[in-house]
Amino acid sequence: MGAEVVIEGLTKSFGKQAIWRDVTLTLPPGEVSAMLGPSGTGKSVFLKSMIGLLKPDRGRCVINGVDIVTCSEHKLYEIRKLFGVLFQDGALFGSMNLYDNVAFPLREHTKKSETEIRRIVLEKLDMTGLNGADKKLPGEISGGMRKRAGLARALVLDPEIILVDEPDSGLDPVRTTYISQLFLDVNAQIDATFLIVTHNINLARTVPDNLGMLFRKELVMFGPREVLLTSEEPVVKQFLNGKMQGPIGMSEEKDSAQMAAEQAMFDAGHHAGGVEDISGVPPQMQTTPGVPQRMGAVRRKDRVMEIMHRLPEAAQQGIIASLSPEEQRHYGVSPRQVAQAQQQQQQQVPAGARQGDGVPNQHHGQLPADQVARIPGGQPPRPGARRMPPPPNNGPGGR
């Protein structure tokens, strides 16, 4: 299983320019998480801070018990080996063919024989759908293939954590979906922890298990996908629908005068952009038939069922509506509850479905860490809180 990443109070600035402050979240092991945010909110800086390429001002980023913010260079070097990173352009060496590009980390960081290297390289090229492309130069292949080659290279050292920076950059929507499918299939095969930073709405809605958003130099929220996808936060709704209407402006943030002037314009019939107002939780993409089940997804289901009573009502409905008949039995959810939740989903979560207890209603803040990564182990529900009956076998590691 991939490593858990626990981030607490992480803060980064460049000189006087604050990038983000007090970011606290936990990437659950083996699950796929995505971080959204308008351009320039520091998503790439966040990734670089996680692997120690940039040094945060304060806070902790703990991986396998090591805080990479304060650890020695030697420890950092060791921890970095747990990461596979897929950069925006694949970051391939232009003069090397794909085989040598993918073999590069093995030749640099291991003492493996060329026979063993060949076995690994061909396996990763196969895993990423690049069979037979090993002799090609990066300049001879499409952007989508370059990204897959970058992923193949990120996989050769058997990473426990895979960071992906804007996988859709330079790709059309269809190729973006194909690469997203590949992430889920790879996640199923190696059970690594994924963090994808993106501003791609389709990807955000359908790929990750958990979603977060950076805005106004803070983490707006982070938690199970259903929470962000049903959020009534204006900034989240605006972002997920790609509209001009809302707090995000051309250069990140609008002041109230601009908000009011624009609102008058939209009220007068000016198109706010975007196609429609989508709310609710669309089904999550699954692994390709024939690829093993994602154990991260199984663990996540246990986790969100444990914490569900603390999630907003709309998110709860989204979670219940997504349960398969087998899961309904497993978690003791009645078909009537599921039917109600599905009906509510079809109505796309009416405005009455509001955030409930435990989730901040303001931009700042995030789900408490224990709602994100750990099964709380039978914390009693608060009086009056709705709670699903516990599943028959509900320990970490699942069924």
Ligand X SMILES: Nc1ncnc2c1ncn2[C@@H]1O[C@H](COP(=O)(O)OP(=O)(O)OP(=O)(O)O)[C@@H](O)[C@H]1O
End-to-end Cα, the chain, rounded Å: 16
Least distance CB 364 / ligand X (angstroms): 18
**Residue corresponding to tokens 């330079």:** 170
Structure tokens given for 248? 């995000």
Asked if 142 touches ligand X (CB under 6 A), the answer is: no
- Rule CB under 6 A: say whether 42 interacts with ligand X: yes
In this chain, which stretch among 34-42, 200-208, 253-261, 374-382 interacts with ligand X, using CB under 6 A? 34-42
Token pair 């950076």 is found at 214
Residue 43 sits in the site that holds ligand X (CB under 6 A): yes
Number of H helices, E strands in the chain: 14, 12
Over the Cα atoms of the chain, what is R_g? 22
Distance CA 181, CA 291 (A): 11
Q: Which residue has the tokens 């709705």?
A: 386
Q: Which residues contact 175 (CB under 8 A, 6 or more apart)?
A: 142, 143, 144
Which of 11, 13, 22, 44 touches ligand X (CB under 6 A)? 44
Contact pattern for ligand X over residues 100 through 139, marking x by CB under 6 A: ----------------------------------------
* Shortest Å distance, C-beta 167 to ligand X: 12
Q: Cβ of residue 138: shortest distance to ligand X, in angstroms?
A: 21
CB 110 within 8 A of CB 158: no
Told to check if 217 binds ligand X by CB under 6 A, we report: no
Among 2, 29, 30, 37, indicate the residue that binds ligand X (CB under 6 A): 37
Q: Does 41 bind ligand X (CB under 6 A)?
A: yes
Q: How far is the CB of 45 from ligand X (least distance, A)?
A: 4
Q: Which helix (H) or strand (E) holds 14?
A: strand 5-14
From 1-9, 38-46, 106-114, 142-150, give the range in contact with ligand X by CB under 6 A: 38-46
The one among 5, 23, 45, 162 contacting ligand X by CB under 6 A? 45
Map residue 12 onto helix, strand or coil. Answer: strand
Q: Which is nearer to ligand X, 45 or 98 (CB)?
A: 45
Q: Report residue 212: phi and psi, to 5°.
A: -135, 170
DSSP 8-57: EEEEEEETTEEEEEEEEEEE-TT-EEEEE--TTSSHHHHHHHHTTSS--S
Site string for ligand X, 180-209 (x = CB under 6 A): -------------------x----------
Q: Which residues bind ligand X (CB under 6 A)?
A: 14, 19, 37, 39-45, 199
